[in-house]
Structure 1
Amino acid sequence: MLTITVPASSANLGLGFDCLGLALNLNLTVTVGSKTDTWQVDHPFGADIPNDETNLIVQTARLVDPDITPHQLIVKSDIPLARGLGSSSSALVAGLFLGHYLVDQTIDRNQILQEAAALEGHPDNVAPTILGSLQLTDDEQAGVNATALPLPKNLVAVTFIPDYPLKTAEARAALPATLPLKTAVHQSQHLANLVAACYLGDQKRLMNLVEEDQIHEPYRADLAPEFLQIRALAHSLGLAGTYLSGAGPTVVSLVEQENADQLLEAINGLKLNGTATILAVQHTGATLTGSLD
């Protein structure tokens, strides 16, 4: 059997609104079984998620070639829906990997990046799931570019996932239509320095800069009240690097491995409604293992 594994993505990292994304070790897995007369998608997500050709993974695969042979699919996922961890992006990428493999058993990651970005609309969400690690993206007329940024290897993501969902449309609606020039200058200066901090290996500077956003987090904080609570808690422990993951409501704190357990214990002590966990950065991106008969 063939298995496609796609990691979660945590977009923005504060300053990198719509251009930075980080792959985290929560995974969607699709196991491709035998050929069938019609698509069969076995999953544990309930009646709201289709189990036939209308499933998002199958729909996306059939965009590659509508005539690909149906198969049985077994889908599992650690990525919660509508929490700012790229659940739909991972499904799109899984579908494209599936479609291209069934057509000619080849995977061109750049081609899939272009297709996934066109479908999802935000390259920063799909680039990490395809390529892994921390990706800086831009969308030009000629296509999407993604550049892997070096990230200190001892950083982990202490992640709080609230019990409630937050739709991207609602989070987008909270943003202002225009920004003052001073705010735009602040954002561009600090984002440039964040990228430089990655290349210089300046871990302390990087984690401080993650918290310098002025264009989306201040407007979304009320939609995810745990965000500022956790940032203040981390500061009380002498830790920086807390940001709102994607559109929220998940909160991520990038910290050194040796500080992760302390922060996790402190977050659990707040008795918030949700789940706190420590996630590693996923460096490989989406993978294919096994084969089809």
Structure 2
Amino acid sequence: MISLDKKIIIRVPATSTGIGAGINSIGIAFGLYYTVIVEEEMQHWQVNHALGDDVPNDENNIIVQTILKVDPTIKPHQLTVMSDVPIGRGLGSSTTAIVAGIKIANALGELDLSLDDEINIGSKIEGHADGVASALLGDITVSYFNGEMATTVKTKIPEVINALVYLTKDDGSDKAIYKNQVSSVDAVKASSATNVLVASLMSNEWTKATEMMENDAIYTDNIYEVVPELETIRKQAHELGIYGTFLNQSHRCVITFGTESELNQLRDRLNFGKLDGVMRLIKVDHSGATVRGE
């Protein structure tokens, strides 16, 4: 148990969703972190951060709102936030804040929530379980959420696997990347690909898993026109023998899995192209959210 006389430090990994056809069900945690230090009790909530003027620093902050949803009796504290998770870029910046709020409420309220409890609470807030589950557990998670209860399974990604994340140039538009209606043929293809993807992950058949990540049965037919970077990155990756490039569910980043050596080669190739976004080589987080006192 963490002493409430000490500062509490919460660290939550970034997440991504939309792997293959696993919409709202498959999530992954990455080694970019959202850290919150819980400091002294205050008269009013104070959230110190350098995340920009659009992020509230009072009780309207999403961390505080989450804390009070979990336990409305918790008294105001000063919170200090440090984050290298980009906001609004498809890497779970809001999810990390929600998970941090749940962890803080659990500590301050001495609620003794289990991980399953925390996943259920976060899933109800988010409306789906994928990002919350991967942020809490790390690695890749596969979840089902019926609106009340989430069922989640975690599986390990090989330690040598990293991710090259390409952040698309955000034009502020809400692009449609999935079909409005899916034919029975495409539905079967998507379901089959997701089943094989999950089975491959569980049996540690990484090559098969990465091939299934590229199944596009539910993407809109003109997906390469909507997000041309996806085609460019896949083409260059395939020429290097690298598979496992997918478009994040938010459409704001394209992610490719591979070893550090493979991804450095891919990044070098792409740097000579005409992509105008930002590329980052990051590790997979294998541990999920952590809580400690000091």
Instruction: Report % sequence identity.
Output: 33
Show the 5 A alignment for 1:139-288. 139-140=145-146, 143-164=149-170, 170-171=174-175, 173-216=176-219, 218=221, 221-288=224-291
Structure 1 pair 59–28 and aligned structure 2 pair: CA distance change class (3 A): same
- Given that 2:177 and 2:251 are in contact with CA atoms closer than 8 Å, whether structure 1 keeps it comes out as no
Distance 2:11 2:226 in 1: 31
The Cα shift of 1:268 comes to 2.3
Using a 3 Å threshold, how does the CA distance of structure 1 residues 166 and 22 change in structure 2: closer, same or farther? farther
Aligned counterpart, 1:135:
141
1:32 aligns with 2:38: yes
> Contact 1:241–1:254 at 8 Å: present in 2 too?
yes
Q: Which has the higher helix share?
A: 1
**8 Å Cα contact 1:82/1:165 also seen in 2:** no
Compared CA separation, residues 269 and 101, structure 1 to 2 (3 A)? same
Partners of 1:280 and 1:138 lie apart in 2 by 26
Structure 2 gap segments, 5+ residues each: 1-6
Q: Distance in 2 between matches of 1:116 and 1:91?
A: 10
The letter for the 2-side match of 1:15 is A
Against the structure 1 CA distance between its residues 219 and 72, is the aligned structure 2 distance closer, same or farther, given a 3 Å change threshold?
farther
CA contact (8 A) 1:14 1:217 kept: no
Q: Structure 1 residues 87, 217: closer, same or farther in 2, change over 3 A? A: farther
Partner of 1:6: 12
Aligned partners of 1:165, 1:10: CA distance in 2, in Å? 20
* TM-score (norm: length of structure 1): 0.92
Structure 2 letter corresponding to 1:9: T
| More deviation, 76-85/197-206 | 197-206
Q: CA RMSD in A?
A: 1.9
In the alignment, the residues of structure 2 paired with residue 142 and residue 177 of structure 1 have an alpha-carbon distance, to the nearest angstrom, of 26
Q: Using the TM superposition, name which of 223-232 and 180-189 deviates more.
A: 223-232
Kindly tell me: are residues 45 and 238 of structure 1, through their superposed partners in 2, closer, same or farther at Cα, counting changes over 3 Å? same
The answer for unaligned runs of 5 or more in structure 1 is none
Separation of aligned partners in 1, 2:215 and 2:45: 47
> d(CA) in 2 for partners of 1:165 and 1:25?
26
What is the CA–CA distance in structure 1 between the aligned matches of 2:222 and 2:31, rounded to whole Å?
28
